[in-house]
Amino acid sequence: MTEHFDVVIIGGGIHGVGVAQAAACDGYSVLVLEQTGLASATSGSSSKLIHGGLRYLEGLHFSLVRESLRERSLLLKLAPELVQLQAFHIPIYPGTSRRPMTIRAGLSLYALLGGLRPANRFRALRPGDWQDLDGLDMKHLQAVYQYYDAQTDDEALTRAVMQSAADLGAGLQCPAEFTTAEITADGCTVNYSHNGMDKSCSSGVLVNAAGPWINTVAGRIHPPPPTTAVDLVQGTHLVLEGRLEKGAYYLEAPADRRAVFLLPWKGRMLLGTTETVYSGDPADVAPLAGEEAYLLETLRRYFPQRPQKVVDRFAGLRVLPAAGSTVSARSRETRLEADDPRRPRVVAIYGGKLTGYRATAQRVMRLLHRTLPSRKPVANTERLKL
Ligand SMILES: Cc1cc2nc3c(=O)[nH]c(=O)nc-3n(C[C@H](O)[C@H](O)[C@H](O)COP(=O)(O)OP(=O)(O)OC[C@H]3O[C@@H](n4cnc5c(N)ncnc54)[C@H](O)[C@@H]3O)c2cc1C
């Protein structure tokens, strides 16, 4: 007999496991299908920040920043071993495009949107403290602002959320590649290949959390659900030898004024990211030589004395709405696409942030509740420790 689940989720990235946890909390039976490994795609190649997104203030994305700061505060409490506050430093030189007034105004707004908690305090460091900043170039340095955001291990966070879902009964098939689905008024028939064997199950609803594969997966669903045109934008990180003692640095790339982060990472340094539009198979994304040169040039500008020994490199793909505007100007809001918003059988998650996975999962569940039978909730993601 075909096994039945209330919710089948395609994708074991942070969004897929986040929805699995939220659905299991609401008392539903859940199955996650993941083709490669948990966090094997974007969710394991991020900048590993749980943050409000200071730079999104420039795009006036206030609700995104407010929600992300709220989620940051919640995750600091729910997952203290996985999400920790980190001091960030913004150095300003005569050529820096964002002047001290702008940085001060941005950080004040950031603190305000975050609810004036101690974690949102910021200050200008005294010039006497600049020499302690991990070898930051002091020549012509005009100001250094310090504020706080949080860092995580994105793969460990994804695994922890899946474990939390599994503790409430959610199932995971991995490696299991979703192949096709047939949607009717009564539910979904879901076909997948698990360890080379063709399998199928039925479900009340289907969640497409396939990240960069989202429209490929949508194309395998019959009848075809509505889709959003997207661009895949590659972001590369380098792991470098050397330690940062004072925290993280928020740098402005000399080449194009984009933000580049330098972060402490497992006893080494993580430097990223780039923004390069990508058109190949998502499975083949890899750092480009030009991206590496761009990142190292940025590092050289701010830390001219530090040796540059790259020990690892990785790239991930952002899913952004296809548009004519520059990559950095495009919305980072998560977009949900349902086949029928009044009674959805299929919901797809476009874009989004690691930081906001829990809030996104709640939004997905609000949509799915219109279709699923009501059940007695067994837990609440706002209170479940990870
Ligand atoms: C370079 C970069 C840096 C970032 N930095 C940050 C940051 O610091 N902080 C932050 O909050 N956000 C950050 N983000 C955003 C965040 O990483 C993503 O929004 C998030 O990881 C997306 O998760 P996802 O679950 O939607 O996709 P993914 O993690 O890509 O997961 C999709 C999964 O679906 C699986 N899949 C696809 N097709 C199938 C199929 N047919 N069958 C079964 N499984 C399938 C894939 O194998 C994959 O594991 C960053 C993004 C990028 C690209």
> What digits encode the pLDDT tens for the residues 157-168?
999 999 999 999
Instruction: Tell me the CA–centroid distance for residue 118 and ligand 1, in Å.
Output: 31
**In this model, does residue 329 exceed pLDDT 80?**
no
Region for 267 from its dihedrals, namely left if φ exceeds 0, alpha if ψ lies in -120 to 50, beta otherwise: left
User: Does the beta carbon of 33 sit less than 6 angstroms from any atom of ligand 1?
Assistant: yes
Mean pLDDT of 66-75: 95
Predicted confidence at residue 117, as pLDDT, reads 77
CA-CA distances (angstroms) from residue 102 to 54, 88, 145, 187, 310? Answer: 12, 17, 11, 53, 33
Tell me how many degrees the CA angle 39-41-43 measures, rounded to the nearest 5: 50
User: Does the beta carbon of 208 sit less than 6 angstroms from any atom of ligand 1?
Assistant: no
Predicted confidence at residue 121, as pLDDT, reads 87
User: Does the beta carbon of 114 sit less than 6 angstroms from any atom of ligand 1?
Assistant: no
**In this model, does residue 89 exceed pLDDT 70?**
yes
Mean pLDDT of 330-353: 91
Atom of ligand 1 nearest to the CA of 68: 11
Predicted confidence at residue 332, as pLDDT, reads 67
User: Does the beta carbon of 354 sit less than 6 angstroms from any atom of ligand 1?
Assistant: yes
Predicted confidence at residue 118, as pLDDT, reads 78
Q: Which of 33-47, 90-104, 244-258, 314-328 has the lowest mean pLDDT?
A: 314-328
Write the residue with the smallest CA distance to atom 35 of ligand 1.
Answer: 11
Instruction: Tell me the CA–centroid distance for residue 382 and ligand 1, in Å.
Output: 22
CA-CA distances (angstroms) from residue 40 to 64, 104, 350, 374, 384? Answer: 26, 38, 18, 33, 24
Predicted confidence at residue 198, as pLDDT, reads 96
Predicted confidence at residue 325, as pLDDT, reads 61
Mean pLDDT of 294-305: 96
Residue of 191, 213, 337, 347 to mutate, ligand 1, most atoms within 8 A of C-beta: 213
Predicted confidence at residue 115, as pLDDT, reads 83
Predicted confidence at residue 148, as pLDDT, reads 95
User: Does the beta carbon of 178 sit less than 6 angstroms from any atom of ligand 1?
Assistant: yes
